[in-house]
Amino acid sequence: MQLRKITAASAAVVALALTATACGSGEKDDKGGSEGGKGKITVGIKFDQPGLGQKTPQGYAGFDVDVAKYVAKELGYSEGQIEFKESKSQDRENMLARGDVDFIAATYSINDEREQKVDFAGPYLLAHQDLLVRADDDSIKSAEDLNSKKLCSVTGSTSAQNVKQKLAPKAQLQEYPTYSACLTGLQNGAVDALTTDDSILAGYAAQDSHKGKFKLAGLELSNENYGIGVKEGSDLKAKINKALEKMVSDGSWEKAVKANFGPANYEYEPAPSIGDIKK
C-alpha cells in the first residue's frame, strides 16, 4: 500500500516536470516565433528569377527574398528559422490553401481573380510590363514599334499576349521555354525584344554576365502590384502589412531595391502605400 503511494507521488512529480518543460521551451511567443529557436516559418519564393528570387550555391537571393526575410524577422523568426519553398506561378494558390507555406513573396501580382482565393498583404512593389532590348538598339521606343519585330516571352505568357492582342498585332511572337532562352536569343539577334514585368527584366539585366548588354525600354504597358499572399482569413495579413510599413520607413526597402536592381539602372516606382492598388 505504501509502495503504491510513493510510486503515484513520483509519477505526479515527473508529469509536472514534463508539463513545465513543454510550457517553457516550445510555446510560440506573441510575435509568432518560437522561444528557444525551435520554431520555423515556411515562405514561398521563386527559385529562378535573378534579382527577385533565385536559389544559388550560396543560398537564396533577390528583392523578394530580402522582403521575405525582413517580414519573417518582424514576425519573430531569425533567418535560420526560415524554410524557403519554390512557388511556381501555377502552384501558388494551392500551396497557400493546403498550408504548404505561411506566406508567398514571389512576384505575386494582386488581381481580382486571385483575391477570390487568397488574401494579400501589401503591395510592396509596383512593377510594369516592359520590354528588354539590346543596349545598342534605338529602334524600339514604343509598343507599336514591335510591329514586324520578333518579340520573345515564355510559353503561355500573358505579357506576350497583351502585346500581341492589344498593342502590336503584327509582332512576330516567339515563345521560348525560359526567360534565359529569350535572353540568349536577344543577345544573338534571333529576337528583337523580350517582354515581362520590368522588375524581372531588370533582375536579368543586372546579372554580371549581362551587364551593359541590354536595356529596358522604359514603357509602362501594365501595372503589376506585387503583394504577399497568405491563406484566406489568416491573421498574418495585418502583421505583414505592419512589417512592410516598417521596412519602408526605416530605409530597408529602398536599400534592397538598389542592391538587387541597381546594376540595370531600373527606374523603380516609390514604395506603394499599403492597400493602394494601381489598376
* CATH code, residues 35-127+225-264: 3.40.190.10
Q: Do domains 35-127+225-264 and 128-216 have the same CATH topology?
A: yes
Residues 6+ apart with CB under 8 A from 257: 63, 125, 266, 268
Q: Which CATH class is domain 128-216?
A: alpha beta
> CA 232 to CA 120: how far, in whole Å?
9
Bond into 270 cis (ω within 30): no
pLDDT, position 135:
94
pLDDT along the chain (279 residues), means of 10: 42 42 40 53 95 95 98 97 94 96 96 95 97 95 95 85 90 90 95 95 89 92 96 97 98 95 84 96
E-only strand ranges, the chain: 41-45, 48-49, 53-56, 59-61, 82-86, 103-104, 118-134, 150-154, 172-176, 193-197, 214-216, 223-231
What are the structural domain ranges in the chain? Answer: 35-127+225-264, 128-216
Nearest-Å Rg of the Cα atoms of the chain is 24
Q: By C-alpha distance, which of 107, 113, 67, 102 is closest to 231?
A: 102
